[in-house]
Structure 1
C-alpha cells in the first residue's frame, strides 16, 4: 500500500505539468488585455506598456510559463492583477467558505441519496421505488441556478425564514447547500439503486435469506458493504465536482468562495488567480481519486494494490 501511495504521489508532478500547460495556454488565449484592464480605460499607451512590463507580460510565452510553473512548485503563484495581493492569500480566504459549503451539501445529499437508493432497490418496482426515482429525476433535471432562485423566493423573500446572501452563520449555508446538493442526491440515489439491485441478485444474498436472516440484516450487513465500492467512487467524484464546480451557486447567493473568485478573475483577466485556481481544482480531483482508491481496501480487505 505504501509503495502504491508513493507511486501515485510521484505521478502528481507530470500530471500537474500537463494541466498547467493547458491552463496557461487557455488563459492566454482569452480575449482582452489584462494590462489595459489593470491600468484603466483612460490610461495612455505608455502607461499600459509599463503595466505590461511590470506584470511580466512583455516576455515570450514560454518564458512566462517557465516562471509560472517553477514558482508554483514552490507555492508562489504570484500576485493578483486585480487586488495586488498574493494569490495564495486570496485563495486562502475563499477556500474555507467553499469547502464547508461543499461538506454541508455533500453530507445531506449522500445521506438522502443512500436512503432513497436502498429503499428503491429493496422495494423495486413498487411505490417507494417510483417515488424515489421520480424525486431523483426531478433533482437532476432542475437547473441549479433556477432552483437557487426558487428557494430564495420562497424561503427568503416570501417567508423570511432564511438569509439570501453571505456566509456569516449556519443559516446562510442552508439554501446554498440545498441548491448545490440536489443534483448530487439524485445521482447518488440512482447509482445506489443500480448497485444494490445487482448485489441483491448475488448468491451469497440468497444464501443469507435462505438461512432465515431478517431482511434488514441481509440488506445492511451482507449487501451494503459490497454495494458501497462503486458508490464510494461516485461519492469521491461528486465531492470533487462540488468543490470545483460551485460557481453557479456561489454567484446566485453571492457566496464569498473560490467560485466567485474565479468569476471575478475571469472578468478582470487576472491570469495568476485563474491559473492557480484551475491547478488547485485539478490537484483536488487527483487527491480525491487517490483517497477513493485507498478506501477500496478499507471497505473490501480482499482488494490489494500491486
Structure 2
C-alpha cells in the first residue's frame, strides 16, 4: 500500500517535531528496517497474538479488532441467513409454480440480483425505505432497526448465486432415475422436492454458501461505510484512507482465517448431508483396520 502513515502523522508542521525525533518514532514502530525484516517481525508477532499498534490512534490493533468484530459478525450472519431463506424460497417457488411465466420470471431474478452493485443497492434502499416511505430510520436507529437495511443490502446479492445453484441442482437431480421412480409411485411434486431433491441439492449449494459467507466480510466494508456502522468494514476503510498498515494487516489476516474456517466447516458438513460419503469413510477405516 503506497504511503507512510508515520510520516503523514508526525511530519505535520503543527507538531513541531525534528527529523531526529521522527526517526526515533519510526524506529519505535520498526519502520526503519528493510521490508523483509519488517515482514518477519510482523509474522512472528501474529503467531504470538501481537498485532501491534495503530499508527494513527496508538490503540492496540487487537483491541480495535475485538471491538469491531462482533458488529460485523452480527451483520454478516444476519445477511447470510436472510440470503439462504430468499434463495430457497425463490428456487422452490420457481420449481413448483404451476404458471410457466412465473417460473421463468423467478428464474431470471437471480441473474438480475447478481449484477446489482452493493453500494448502489444500499443507497437505493436508504432512499426508498427511509427518505421516501419513512419506514426505517437511518439517523440514530435502534439496534434492530439499524440492521434492517444493511442486512438487506448484503443479502440480496448473496442470495442470487445461491438461488442459481439451487435451481440448477433441482433440474439436474429432478431428472435422475430415482426421482422418476418416486413420482411413478404417486408422490406429489412438493413431496419429491422436499424429501428427495432438496437434500441432494444442498451439497453443491453448501460449497457456494461457504465461499459467499467469506465474501460477506468483504461486502461489509462497503455496507458499513454506506450506513455508517461500526465494524471491521469501517476500520478497514479508515485504515486504507490513513495508510494505517498494522490495522490493515490484521484485517487481511482475519479475513483469511475466516475463509479457512468456513471451508473447514463445509468439509465437515459433507458427510452429514450425504450418507454415501459416510459409507466411503467407514469403508476406508475398515480396509485400513
TM-score between the two structures when normalised by the length of structure 2: 0.90
Report what 1:130 is aligned to: 104
SS in 2 for 1:92: helix
Which among 206, 227, 238 is matched to residue 212 of structure 2? 238
| Rg (Cα) greater in structure | 2
Structure 2: runs of 5 or more not aligned = 285-289
In the other structure, the counterpart of 1:216 is: 190
- 1:45–1:133 Cα change, 3 Å: farther
For 1:51-200, list aligned pairs within 5 A.
51-123=25-97, 126-164=100-138, 168-200=142-174
The CA distance in 2 between the partners of 1:246 and 1:167, in whole Å, is 18
The structure 2 residue matched to 1:257, chosen from 231, 238, 260, is 231
CA deviation digits over 1:184-230, x for unaligned, max 9? 11111111100110000001100000111122111110111111000
Moved more, 58-67 or 100-109: 58-67
- CA change 1:166–1:234 in 2 (3 A) is farther
Task: Indicate how the Cα distance of structure 1 residues 218 and 244 shifts in structure 2: closer, same or farther if over 3 A, else same.
Answer: same
Report the number of matched residues. 277
Q: Cα distance 1:114–1:294, how it changes in 2: closer, same or farther (>3 A)?
A: same
Kept after mapping to 2: 8 A contact 1:113/1:185: yes
Native 8 Å contact 2:61 2:246 kept in 1: yes
Q: Is the 8 A contact 2:96 2:189 kept in 1?
A: no
- CA-based RMSD: 1.8
C-alpha distance 47-191 of structure 1, shift in aligned 2 (>3 A): same
Change (3 A) 1:34 1:124: farther
The alignment status of 1:290 with 2:264, answered yes or no, reads yes
Gaps of 5+ in 1: 1-29
Q: Provide the rounded CA distance (Å) in 2 between the counterparts of 1:64 and 1:292.
A: 35
**Residues of 1 paired with 2:11 and 2:224: CA distance?**
27
Q: Which has the higher contact order (CA 8 A, sep 6+)?
A: 1
Give the drift of 1:106.
0.9
- Residue 32 (1) aligns with residue 3 (2): yes
What residue number does 2:276 align with?
Answer: 302
User: In structure 1, which of residues 268, 273, 278 is the aligned counterpart of residue 242 of structure 2?
Assistant: 268
- Aligned residues of 1:38 and 1:51 also touching (Cα < 8 A): no
State the distance in 2 between where 1:249 and 1:289 align.
24
